[in-house]
């Protein structure tokens, strides 16, 4: 056997093309050695072209669909615009219901010629509009007087409105899909693309319908926003009354809305309406106390006109004024205070920084209940405590206090908090429900001491809820800043400060006694001051937290019960019957 000859080594691999100067070597991708240099070169060239090819491929796939969506959107938009409404009778009201896409979702009820009512019922971009096209005035008058007809309306209104809305949705969706189909046929002139436009529109319609159903909140029907003429707004009255008492019933809420609108047109036609009968006996009655909060009237007679109108239309049982009823605090301004008795209800007042002690005495002389130095008074079944503004700065404007000025306010509020604690300790069954101050700066001492703090001064409405459970409601200027430099400057510029006031609804019985249940924020604006916006908030669940008292601190108040000490009832305090 011959010895084996050693095998010769394999020839070296031929070198690839010479590297170009400055070229960046491509990374190797771990290809097997058997592929060879030529295979690696092919793979490298393919990889170099892979990015642009993928981008072109994605573009060729997406761009046609983008075009399809744009064509579908244009056609569907035109279809939604031309979609017919559905007409139905809801009680005595002939109503046309329409459903169409909108960036301002919700439900809007048009009440020509007096305004509109809107509800934030859902978050999906869909607006449901109901336009009152005609009213059977005789039927409206019978409805608001007949408990039997009201009951029948309550039993049928939900199904009637639901059926009309469903028909309107079908009309709108069908018109949108038809518009998308026509647009697809006109633009593409091909069956496949036309069907794609319809399919894409259908997906969007179904998704929007699902989002609307998922976010729909029936309770929102108890919190309408009214916009229109104040003198023609009995709808707001009856709806406000029933919303607090019947919040939990969706069916009753719808019935209340229809009844209230019927009342509006019946009153507008000078037909007689009897008190609570306008809402089937579901008014405020004896279970809710209505208080009107005004502030910063600043000598403007329009402010008292607004208060007088609200007192009469809403059955207000007391008016609370958190100061700055005058501007310079002079004796010459006292004639303006003669409007107070004309309101015909108890008037509770705390001094503002524009009100002098002379002004305070003049207000008391008009029969008002003046609260100062931590005094308390029971008015309309509620226990109020107040402390007048510790400074008199008639040349100042309404702004948040800082530095030393804030410290002065905080010290005043601490004394009021001590007075409230002293009163509550001595009268555990008659605790303070509402604390009144003028300047809301430095309110920390009152947090957790009292459920509700009312203030003014800033000429801008603000509502906050502290973690302690204390709610602070700062009123805007009911006099539109009145006869002040800021108010006159805004008026000269053609942009007057709006007149603002708030209606507060308190419970009177059981666990809700003395508790704020709801409030209506009324804003009157425009150069003619002829339009009004009313936004209602109903407080339920987490919006009514339990009060968390502050930790004990040394009291600087005098002993309760001594004359002139904090916690002693104010002279002239009145109690509503």
Q: What's the CA gap between 340 and 337, in Å, rounded?
A: 6
Q: Residue 436 domain-assigned?
A: yes
Task: Domain of residue 512: give its range.
Answer: 288-543
Q: How many CB atoms lie within 10 A of CB 391?
A: 15
User: Which of these three, 283, 318, 336, is where a domain ends?
Assistant: 283
Residues 300 and 257 in one domain: no
Give the CA dihedral 5, 9, 11, 17, nearest 10 degrees.
180
pLDDT tens, position by position, for the chain (577 residues)?
444 445 555 555 555 555 555 554 554 444 445 445 655 555 555 555 555 666 566 667 677 778 888 888 998 889 888 998 898 887 777 888 999 899 889 888 776 655 677 888 889 999 998 887 776 767 766 765 666 776 676 667 677 878 888 999 999 999 999 999 999 899 888 888 888 888 989 999 999 989 988 998 877 766 767 665 444 343 333 433 343 343 334 444 455 555 555 555 554 443 222 233 333 322 344 578 999 999 999 888 888 988 988 888 788 999 999 999 998 888 888 889 999 999 999 999 999 999 999 999 999 999 999 999 999 999 999 999 999 999 998 876 666 777 888 999 999 999 999 999 999 999 999 999 999 999 999 999 999 999 999 999 998 999 999 999 999 999 999 987 655 555 555 555 556 778 899 999 999 888 889 999 889 888 887 444 445 677 788 888 777 888 888 765 444 433 333 333 334 445 444 333 2
Grouping H, G, I as helix, E, B as strand and the rest as coil, residue 290 is: strand
25 in a structural domain:
no
Query: How high is the pLDDT of residue 512?
Result: 86
Q: Are residues 234 and 295 in the same domain?
A: no
Question: How many whole angstroms separate alpha carbon 270 and alpha carbon 367?
Answer: 35
Give the whole-angstrom CA distance, residue 566 versus residue 577: 26
Of 317, 455, 308, 311, the closest CA to residue 381 belongs to 317
Confidence at residue 408, expressed as pLDDT on a 0 to 100 scale: 94
- Domain match, 275 and 404 both: no
Give the per-residue pLDDT at 192.
86
Q: What is the pLDDT of residue 234?
A: 37
Exposed e or buried b per residue across 490-506, where buried means at least 16 C-beta atoms within 10 angstroms of its C-beta: beeeeebbbbbbbbbbb
Structural domain contains residue 46: no
Nearest to 226 by CA among 126, 316, 146, 313: 313
Q: Of 222, 254, 283, which one is at a domain's C-terminal end?
A: 283
Q: What per-residue confidence (pLDDT) applies to 497?
A: 78
Domain boundary among 265, 283, 301: 283
Tokens, residue 109: 């009820």
**Residue 282 confidence (pLDDT):** 26
- Domain co-membership, 331 together with 255: no
Same domain flag for 345 and 209: no
C-alpha span between 7 and 164 (Å, rounded):
95
H helix runs in 83-227, sequence order: 137-145, 147-188, 191-215
Residue 77, in any domain of the structure: yes
- Please tell me the predicted confidence (pLDDT) of residue 504: 94
Same structural domain, 334 and 241: no
Same domain? For 363 and 266 the reply is no
Question: How would you list the strands of the sheet with 462-465, edge to edge?
Answer: 375-379, 382-386, 434-436, 452-455, 471-474, 462-465
Shared-domain flag, residues 295 and 271: no
User: Do 506 and 357 share a structural domain?
Assistant: yes
404 belongs to a structural domain: yes
Identify whether 37 is part of a domain.
Answer: no
Instruction: Please give the tally of structural domains in the chain.
Output: 2
CATH no. for residue 467?
A: 3.60.21.10
Is residue 568 in some structural domain? no
Read off the tokens for 214.
């998922």
Assess if residue 305 is contained within a domain. yes
* pTM, rounded to two decimals: 0.61
Measured CA to CA, the distance from residue 286 to residue 391 in angstroms comes to 39
- At 140 the pLDDT is 67
Same domain as 257, residue 173: yes
Tell me if 125 sits within 8 A of 105, measured CB to CB: yes
User: Are residues 383 and 512 located together in one domain of the fold?
Assistant: yes
pLDDT at residue number 467: 93
Whether 107 and 188 map to the same domain: the answer is yes
- Six-digit token string for 429: 């069954």
């Amino acid at each position: 056997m011959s010895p084996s000859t050693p095998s010769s080594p394999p020839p070296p691999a031929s070198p690839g093309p010479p590297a170009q100067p400055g070229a960046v070597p491509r990374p190797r991708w771990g290809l097997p050695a058997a592929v060879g240099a030529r295979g690696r070169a092919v793979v490298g060239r393919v990889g170099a072209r892979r990015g642009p090819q993928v981008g072109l491929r994605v573009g060729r796939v997406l761009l046609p669909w983008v075009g399809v969506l744009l064509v579908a959107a244009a056609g569907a938009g035109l279809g939604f615009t031309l979609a017919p409404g559905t007409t139905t009778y809801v009680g005595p009201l002939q109503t046309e219901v329409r459903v169409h896409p909108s960036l301002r979702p919700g439900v809007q009820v048009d009440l020509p010629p007096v305004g509109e009512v809107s509800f934030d019922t859902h978050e999906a971009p869909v607006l449901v509009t109901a336009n009152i096209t005609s009213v059977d005035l005789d039927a409206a008058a019978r409805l608001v007087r007949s408990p039997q007809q009201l009951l029948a309306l309550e039993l049928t209104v939900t199904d009637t409105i639901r059926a009309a809305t469903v028909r309107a949705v079908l009309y709108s969706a069908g018109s949108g899909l038809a518009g998308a189909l026509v647009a697809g046929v006109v633009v593409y002139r091909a069956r496949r693309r036309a069907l794609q436009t319809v399919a894409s529109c259908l997906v969007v319609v179904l998704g929007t319908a699902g989002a609307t159903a998922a976010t729909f909140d029936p309770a929102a029907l108890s919190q309408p926003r009214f916009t229109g003429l104040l003198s023609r707004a009995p709808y707001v009255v009856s709806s406000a009354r029933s919303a607090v008492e019947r919040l939990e019933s969706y069916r009753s809420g719808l019935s209340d809305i229809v009844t209230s609108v019927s009342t509006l047109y019946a009153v507008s036609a000078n037909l007689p309406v009897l008190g609570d009968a306008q809402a089937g006996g579901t008014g405020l009655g004896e279970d809710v106390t209505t208080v009107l909060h005004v502030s910063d009237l600043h000598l403007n007679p329009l402010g008292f006109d607004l208060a007088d109108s609200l007192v009469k239309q809403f059955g207000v049982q007391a008016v609370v004024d958190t100061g700055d009823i005058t501007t310079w605090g002079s004796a010459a301004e006292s004639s303006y205070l003669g409007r107070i008795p004309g309101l015909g209800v108890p008037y509770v007042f705390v001094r503002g920084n524009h009100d002098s002690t002379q002004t305070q005495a003049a207000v008391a002389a008009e029969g008002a209940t003046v609260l100062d130095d931590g005094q308390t008074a029971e008015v309309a079944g509620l226990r109020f405590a107040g402390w007048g503004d510790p400074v008199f700065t008639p040349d100042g404007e309404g702004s948040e206090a800082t530095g030393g000025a804030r410290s002065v306010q905080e010290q005043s509020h601490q004394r009021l908090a001590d007075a409230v604690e002293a009163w509550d300790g001595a009268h555990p069954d008659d605790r303070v429900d509402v604390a009144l101050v003028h300047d809301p700066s430095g309110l920390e001492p009152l947090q957790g001491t009292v459920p509700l703090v009312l203030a003014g001064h800033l000429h801008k409405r603000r509502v906050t809820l502290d973690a302690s459970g204390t709610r602070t409601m700062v009123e805007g200027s009911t006099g539109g800043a009145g006869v002040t430099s800021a108010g006159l400057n805004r008026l000269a510029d053609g942009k007057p400060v709006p007149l603002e006031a708030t209606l507060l609804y308190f419970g009177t019985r059981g666990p809700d006694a003395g508790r704020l249940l709801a409030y209506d924020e009324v804003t009157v604006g425009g150069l003619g001051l002829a339009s009004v916006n009313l936004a209602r908030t109903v407080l339920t669940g987490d919006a009514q937290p339990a009060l968390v008292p502050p930790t004990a601190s040394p009291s600087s108040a005098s002993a309760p019960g001594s004359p002139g000490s904090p916690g002693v009832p104010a002279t002239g305090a009145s109690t509503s019957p």
